[in-house]
Every structure is written in structure tokens, then in C-alpha cells.
Amino acid sequence: MELSRSTRISKLEENIARGFVWLFAGLTIIILVWIVGYILFRGFYSRQYIPYDVLPIEESVIPLEGTDDQGLRIIVNKKIKIRDLTESQLNEIYSKRRRENWGFYTRQDLDVQPFALKAAPDSKEFADAAARAVLPEGKEFSKYTSFVSGFDEMADMVAKTPGAIGFVPSDYKGSLNRVKTVPLRRFSVFFSPGTVKIEKNKKLQELDQEKLQRIFQGTSRNWLELGGIDLEILPALYLYNDSFTEQLEDLVSVGSLEESGIPVFTDKDKYFDYIASTPGSIGIALYDEVHDRDLPSVPVIRKETGPNLTLSFLLEAPSRSGAWGGISYIIINTLLLIAFTLLFSTPVGVAAAIYLVEYARQGPLVRFLRMGTETLAGIPSIVFGLFGRIFFVQILGMGIGFLSATLTVTLMILPTIVRTSEEALSAVPGTYREGSLALGATKLDTIFKVVLPAASPGILTGIILGIGRVVGETAVLLYTLGSSYELVAGPSSPARVLSLHLYLLFSEAVSFDRAFATGTVLIFIILIVNRMTTRMIGRMNRMSGK
């Protein structure tokens, strides 16, 4: 049967409307998946670009001057999550007057405990050479350095002392299974003094692997191309050993440096003289040799990747404004805030809804109360924060702390719980109440044994919305909770929760990687809470026969 023209137009309009609905629904889902996916990716995967004063050329054995072909191996305790050390970092660890912390290098809140070899008659030559290798010229061991009399004792003390670092000779015959050997990076990029001067507001600031490849492959001929001044790029090299040559060839993606056309010196003094006197020249040499000759150098950016959200991040206590350690205390603080906020807000909110639905006379006053509740539910959270700061913190004298924050957040989510609970109670059919009363139950029994169980899915929905707002709240807590990253110790303790910690990590530029990891944990907490509550609502619906 042929459709009429109006019917065809109606069908066409319906299809167009359905298409727009699917289009916008699909775009919304794609945007949400992209946002959440990006946060989760950055949360689990760390990607940092860190400037170093040395190249990523590693030496597992450090040659020692003044010894019979002996070398030095740096060993650390296995708990230390470090891939390698730079020469300047090693110098700082052994010579600083204050106690060094591994947090500066690995973000672990762990004091450094350096060990060195006591100079004995049979090991004085090695002990002196090792001291020259790990200390800056003219410096002595710090007062925190512990001395041992032998290499077996050194390995044993490093293995059982958290945060320990030490060294053994390269031909050490004992077992190193209980410690970790850490390679050292000692080679810096350096220039002629005129290469890195400021000219026409231009100066070479830093290099990375891509720029080094362009320099040594010859694809960049002028420093202007790399952000420097108008000078021809003139690379030169001194090849220290085979390992250095192989790693440098791999770094700059050159098959053979000796056949690349780059000048290669065999005399080190002539090499340094050439670089120092030739404008536009660039070379690579040992960090201490460059600084001893007072030649200019620039940082080299290294891309470092790895896992971001780790078990240690979840279990360790935070330190240094969250830059070191983990977020264990902050997770506990978040859960405590949720628990106490719900403890205060749920009974009050549900009781208020019961009164408005079951007892209050539906007149102008009740309508005014409903309007006030709806208005409060839409007020920006920062207004509640200001109120909490003035009323709880200052007028009542509670101070900035956990109790002030909990009461303020309770007031903030109370209107949501009241309105959703009221709607859930109003949706319960009147026949439920009539049947219960007809069977002889009192009004109170009817409310608690009939109405509330039937309305519980809707009430739980309101509680979920309240939890979501508590978990994601920042503005209120800035004014009432404080920013301490310690564990809550009492009602007046200032603290920090996940959302506030995330905000502070971003706003203070402490660590973007840690901010994304914190955001990932926050997302999982919300998903877990929502999943548990959804299952509870489903079970209640089945029990009530819905």
C-alpha cells in the first residue's frame, strides 16, 4: 500500500531526528572515551623530558686513574628505583653537607646512605683512586658517609641498608646478587665560548637526541637551525674507548664516526685546544674535564618513559608536597571524608525528605522549602567553601581541618540527597501505605518497613550523586581542609584528598605525571563506588519485585 505524502514526510523527519540523536550521542561517547582514555594512558604511562648535564652514554665500569687497569662499579640497595646516575649526582651524594635524599633522583622518599672504603695499607691505592672518582675535586666525604674496611662488608652493608650506595672494584669476586649495579653517565657536550654567546636575542639553550643527530649526520650546517647564533656547526671528537664510540654512534645514528668525515683527534690536549679556539665547534668529553677547563656546556634533554601508576605509588606515604613517595595517606583521607560526610548527611537528608513527603502539610511553606533546597543544590561549591571558612573555621573556632571540611561538604550535598530522596518517596504508590495501614501497622512502621524499602533505589541514587560530588570537590576543601598530605589524626587535622591533591600537583607544577596517576586513581574509585551501588540497587529492586 502506497504511503501518503504526509506520512512519508513524517517518516523522513523521524529518520532525520533519529540520525541527529545517534550522531550527537556517538560524538558524546567518543569525546568521553577520548578524555577518559587519555587520562588513563597518562596515568599508567610516564613520559618525561628531563634536562641533564651529561649524555645518555653509560659506563658500567668507571676507569680509575693511578691503578693497575682497575675499574669501579657503583652499587645500590635493590629498593632504589634508579636506572643510572650522572657524575654530578654521584658527586653530590658523597660530598654534600646536608643529608641527600633519593627523592631528588627517583621520587622515593628515602635518605641516601653513602658507604666508602676505609684506606688501609693493602687497599690505600684503590681507596684513594675511588675517592677521586666519586668526589668533586678538592672536596671531602660528607659527615653522613659510613666507612667500611673491605669490599665484602661494603656489599653486605649496601644490601641490608635502605637507601645505601657504595662501590666495589670491577674485578670483585664476591656476590652482587643482593645489590644492584648502576651505570654512570659522565660525558658532556661542550662548545667553543663563542658558540653559546647571546647574539641578536639568540642563544643555544639545550640539545636533544634529534638535534645531536642533525649535528653529527651533517644535516644541520648552521647553529641558527638549532636555535643558536649565526655560526657554522663544526663537530669534532675524541674517541675515549670502544664502548663510548659504539654508544655515541647509536645515539646519533651514524654507522661509523671515524668514516663520517668528522675530525677525530688522538691527542686530547689538541682536541680541547681546537674546540676552545674554533668558533662554532662542538665536542664531547668527560664532565669533569669540561668543567676543569671552564668550557661552556648546555643541558641535553632525555626522554624517559616507564610505568607511572605503580604499586609503590599507591602504598607509599606522600612527601615533599606530593613530589616524592606515593598517595596512600591521601587515598585514606579521601575515603574517610566520604564516610563521615555520608554519616552526617544521609540520616539528615533522608529524615528531611520523609518529613516533607509523609508529615508536612503541602502548603506555601513546604513549596518555599523545596524551592530553597533546589536553589542550594545549584549554588557553586566555592560559595559553600566561603561559608564554611567563615562559619565553621572562624565563628565556631574549629580551624582549618577535617571536621570543618566534613561539615561544609555535608551542607553542600544535603540538598541533593533531600531532593532525590523526596522524589523517591513520592514515587512509592499510595496503595503501599494504605495496605500497610489496613493491616494494622502504625504510620512509623509503614514508613520504615514499607515506604523506605520501596524507595531505597532512588535514595541510593541521590547518595551516589552526593559521593560523586564529594570525591570531585576542590573549591570547598581549599578553604576548609587545608593542604597537609599527612594522614588525618583528629577532627582538627588539616589534610588533603585526591581531588585537592590533583589540583595542587597541577597548579603548583609539582609533577604532571603524578597528577595524571592521581586522576586515574580517582576515576577508579568513582567507578568502583558506582558499580557497587548499582549492584545494590539491582538487588533491592529484585527483592522488592520491581
**Looking at the structure, do residues 352 and 425 belong to the same domain, yes or no?**
yes
Single-letter amino acid, residue 49:
Y
- The reply to whether 398 falls in a domain is yes
Structural domain boundaries, residue 427: 314-544
User: What is the domain-level CATH number for residue 370?
Assistant: 1.10.3720.10
Q: Does residue 29 sit in the same domain as residue 72?
A: no
**Residue 487: C-alpha distances to residues 199, 239, 392 (Å):** 53, 54, 21
pLDDT of residue 3: 60
- Residue where a domain stops, chosen among 127, 160, 185: 185
Residues 520, 387 share a domain: yes
Of 286, 307, 328, the residue that ends a domain is 307
Clarify whether residues 26 and 82 are in a common domain. Answer: no
DSSP label of 4: P
267 within a domain of the structure (yes/no)? yes
The pLDDT, as a whole number, for residue 534 is 76
Domain count, the chain: 4
Residue type, 75: I
Cβ 401 vs Cβ 481: under 8 Å: yes
Say whether both 286 and 224 belong to one domain.
yes
Residues with Cβ within 8 Å of 198's Cβ and at least 6 positions away in sequence, in order, are 229
pLDDT < 50 regions, the chain:
none
Tens-place pLDDT, residues 130-165: 888 888 887 889 889 999 988 899 999 999 999 999
Question: Which run of H or of E encompasses 45?
Answer: strand 45-52
pLDDT of residue 470: 86
Q: Residue 503 pairs with which residues in a beta bridge?
A: none
For the range 147-156, what are the long-range contacts, defined as Cβ-Cβ under 8 Å and sequence gap of 24 or more?
147/115, 147/116, 147/117, 147/118, 148/115, 148/116, 148/117, 148/118, 149/117, 149/118, 149/120, 150/123, 151/117, 154/75, 154/115, 154/117, 155/75, 155/179
Residues 519 and 393 in one domain: yes
DSSP 217-279: HTS--BGGGGTS-S-B-EE-EE---HHHHHHHHHHHT-S-STTTT--EES-HHHHHHHHHHST
The per-residue pLDDT for 236 is 94
Contact 327, 314 (CB under 8 A): yes
- Residue 91 maps to a domain: yes
Question: Domain for residue 325, yes or no?
Answer: yes
DSSP 393: I
What is the pLDDT, as a whole number, of residue 179?
94
Instruction: Answer yes or no: is 238 within a domain.
Output: yes
Same domain for 42 and 100, yes or no, is no
* Separation between Cα atoms, residue 208 and residue 206, nearest integer Å: 7
C-alpha triplet 538, 544, 546: angle, nearest 5°:
65
301 and 319 inside one domain: no
Q: Are residues 226 and 206 in the same domain?
A: yes
* 71-77 and 179-182 beta bridge pairing: antiparallel
Residue 66 burial by Cβ neighbours in a 10 Å radius (0-12, 13-18, 19+):
exposed
Q: Strands 85-86 and 184-185, how do they pair? A: parallel
Same domain, 200 and 181: no
Look at residues 188, 139, 135, 160 and name the one whose alpha carbon lies nearest to residue 75.
160
In a domain, 53, yes or no: no
* Cα–Cα dist 357/314, whole Å: 45
Look at residue 67 in the predicted model and tell me its pLDDT: 65
- CA gap 206, 228 in Å, rounded: 10
pLDDT tens digits for 226-239? 989 999 999 999 99
State whether 227 and 145 are in the same domain. no
Closest listed residue to residue 422, CA positions, set 365, 378, 359, 343: 359
Whether residue 536 is contained in a domain is answered as yes
Residue 178 located in a structural domain: yes
Write down the pTM of the prediction: 0.83
Kindly state whether residues 361 and 417 are assigned to the same domain: yes
Q: Where among 139, 166, 185 does a domain terminate?
A: 185
CA distances from 331 to 311, 471, 505, 515 (A): 13, 11, 15, 14
What cell numbers appear for 225 in the block? 637551525
CA 264, 269, 272, 276 dihedral sign is negative
Residue 89 sits in a domain whose CATH number is: 3.40.190.10
